[in-house]
Structure 1
Amino acid sequence: MTVPDELAGQRIDNFLLARMKGVPRARIYRILRKGEVRVNKGRVKAEYRLAAGDVVRVPPVRAGEQGEVPVAGDQLRRLLEASVLYDAHGLLVIDKPAGLAVHGGSGVRLGLIEALRQMYPQSPFIELVHRLDRDTSGAIMVARKRSVLQHVQAELRSGRVGKSYLALAAGKWPRGRRVVEAPLRKNTLKSGERMVSVDPEGKPSETQFRVLERFAGATLLSAEPVTGRTHQIRVHAQFAGCPLAGDAKYTADGTNRVFRELGLKRLFLHSASVRCSLPSGEKVEVSAPLPAELQSVLAALRCRN
């Protein structure tokens, strides 16, 4: 495969993951480690960044290793087509439904990014700008140009990208608690499940919270992560004493049972808006409406009040 100009700068592992459809991620990283992938006849590591005109050689995948390529069904395609919030200047913003992983792997054969690549076969470049947890709904940015990906991710690293979430916390949020600064460490259990905990040896993490509405036994919050750690809002809310409603990882079953009785069937965390600039300097702000199933939970809480 010869690398086109628009993919210059992409890591070789991401290049292969996008093109070797259905091949397990572990298999792709194994052939990279063993030196079976060559670029311009030389071995490369997974972090190698491609240049325009590079010639990439991959070994043949033995029969039975690749398996059936997962294909996005008509229902998912229609859902995602209806979920496009913004599509211009090389930036795509999708209102991701809860329950859809952003990419395949760890038991997930088809994620958002794989489905989008099938929906936009004319686009040689489609990459996630950032991630959302599988159970989180709402606005997520996807780059359709390498230059846009590099620019917005640089803005992310410098803290100039805004991401605002709506979250329903169990209990009474402490008055005056507007910022949670607690270092986070990511752990992988023997089962393969990822869990995050507050740990003095973890990475510095900060989330800004604002109370929007108080209910009996719950608080509706706006949450803006300053850093972008895995499960950051969920763990910081738990650390503040008010874990998120419907969170199967960090909220007690008894607490979740109360919210299930109000009709909540998922994690109440929604990416409500994203704000960034484009390489041209143009400012973009895109909002995603709160899903109907979450609005109905708020209505039930208001009735209970």
Structure 2
Amino acid sequence: MREALPVPAGASCPVRIQQPYAHTYAFRVKPADAGKNLLSFLCERFPFRDETGWRLRIADGRVQLNQFPADPIQLLCTGDIIQHTNLHVTEPSVPDSVRIVAESPDFLLVEKPAPMPVHPGGRYNRNCLTEILKENGYAELHLIHRLDAVTSGLMLLGKNPDFSREASALFRSGGVEKMYYARVQGLPDWEETSCDQPIGRAKGFRFACLPEGKPARSVFRVMTRGSANSIVACEPVTGRTHQLRLHLAWLGHPVSDDLVYQPGNAHRLQNRAICLHSAHLRIPALAVDGSLPVPSDWYENL
């Protein structure tokens, strides 16, 4: 696995571009969808393609049901397997700069760039962290925790089941020291504060601070103030989805380039990296210890 490529001042990060390829997606029918016909299900589940498009794909055999040619009006049963072959998959590009920070017989600690998903899913099959590591000789890694695709920084992966189980248990029980850096909007009037707002799913990929959500706690400390933005150290005491992003927004200082959780952006998508960086990860019981500095470009126009 090579180190990240050096990038001259003012240059953009090298990118990883996949050539178009054929790929077959497969998924099982859930009980809630049993009884629907195949065409209706596809139009409902994947509305980015209209009814005519799905009819054509069923007719030419690119959509199969339980590995057999399908009929648009065929009724679905729980557990049926629908396969859809896309002959020309084009994945979004990602940074070509995964870097190994530390390695032992039990684990791999890497710096994940952003935007880059951790594992295959959605529009990404090959341009994701686990597949990139697999291409470079790390084929049997175990996911222990995750980072959002738009979040960069330290990620720990296990090389064997025993280490991975123990590390996962320590993440759940609070035996892991974690710290992030965030570049946020505004100049906080506090030096250190905390947020205990519960977090739950709002709609789709969005989460929110909700009274009925799961308990969540974050601690924040101002590191640097600029003219319009600040850099804050963030400690997620719990590990809810989008926790730091939501708690910072709740405090009135959202991550500076987080389009999803800035006021008035309820329907925006976030496809680019945001200024949230997993900077410190330490597990004393397992001799895991890694730290990264604040990204240098965050100080520009702070």
Q: Scaled by the length of structure 2, what TM-score is found?
A: 0.66
- Residue of structure 2 equivalent to 1:4: none
Structure 1 pair 170–157 and aligned structure 2 pair: CA distance change class (3 A) = same
CA shift in 2, pair 1:178/1:89, >3 Å: farther
Report what 2:292 is aligned to: 288
Residue among 126, 134, 137 paired with 1:117:
134
SS in 1 for 2:201: strand
Q: Residue type matched to 1:169 in 2?
A: V
Q: Distance in 2 between matches of 1:174 and 1:214?
A: 10
8 Å CA contact 1:71–1:115 kept in 2: the answer is no
For residues 163 and 67 of structure 2, the distance between their equivalents in structure 1, rounded to whole angstroms, comes to: 33
Amino acid at match of 1:223: C
Aligned letter for 1:205?
A
SS at match of 2:134: helix
Contact 2:180 2:234 in 1 (8 A): yes
Aligned match of 1:270: 277
Q: 1-side partners of 2:193 and 2:248: how far apart?
A: 11
Among residues 199, 203, 208, which one is paired with 1:188 in the alignment?
203
1:32-83 deviation digits (Å, cap 9, x = unpaired): 999xxxxxxxxxxxxxxxxxxxxxxxx98569745579899xx979633xx0
**How far apart, CA to CA, are the structure 1 residues paired with 2:31 and 2:112?**
32
Cα distance in structure 2, aligned partners of 1:171 and 1:77: 29
Deviation at 1:251, TM superposition (A): 1.8
The correspondence for 1:148, drawn from 163, 166, 170, is 163
CA spacing shift, 1:239–1:118, aligned 2, 3 Å: same
Greater strand content: 2
> In structure 2, what is the Cα distance between the partners aligned to 1:148 and 1:175?
40
Name the counterpart of 2:74.
none
Separation of aligned partners in 1, 2:88 and 2:102: 29
- Quick one: distance in 1 between partners of 2:106 and 2:67? 33
Q: Distance in 2 between matches of 1:127 and 1:70?
A: 26
RMSD: 3.4
Q: 1:238 aligns with which of 222, 227, 249?
A: 249
Residue segments in structure 2 that go unaligned for 5+ positions in a row? 1-21, 34-64, 70-82, 266-271
Task: Give the letter aligned to residue 287 of structure 2.
Answer: K
Q: Look up the match of 1:216.
A: 227
Aligned 8 A contact 1:85 1:288 in 2: no
Higher helix share: 1
Amino acid in structure 2 at the alignment position of 1:209: F
Residues 31/251 of structure 1: CA separation in 2 closer, same or farther (3 Å cut): closer
Give the aligned partner of residue 110 of structure 2.
94
- Shift of the alpha carbon at 1:103? 1.4
Q: Which amino acid aligns with 2:280?
A: S
CA drift of 1:266 comes to 3.9
Aligned residue for 2:57?
Answer: none
Contact in 2 for aligned 1:247/1:267 (Cα 8 Å): yes
**Distance in 2 separating the partners of 1:69 and 1:118:** 21
Change (3 A) 1:97 1:70: farther
Bigger CA drift: 243-252 or 282-291?
282-291
Q: Does structure 2 retain, via aligned residues, the 8 Å contact 1:77–1:119? A: no
Unaligned regions of 5+ residues in structure 1, if any? Answer: 1-20, 35-58, 255-264
Structure 2 residue aligned with 1:79: 97
Between the aligned residues of both structures, percent identity stands at: 27
Alpha-carbon distance between aligned partners in 1 of 2:68 and 2:102, rounded to the nearest angstrom:
41
1:270 Cα shift?
A: 0.6
SS at match of 1:102: coil
How many angstroms apart in 1 are the aligned matches of 2:197 and 2:174?
18
Q: 1:79 and 1:172, CA in 2 relative to 1: closer, same or farther beyond 3 A?
A: closer
Tell me: CA distance 1:227–1:113, structure 2 relative to 1, closer, same or farther (3 Å): same
In the alignment, is the contact (CA less than 8 A) between 1:84 and 1:95 conserved in 2? yes
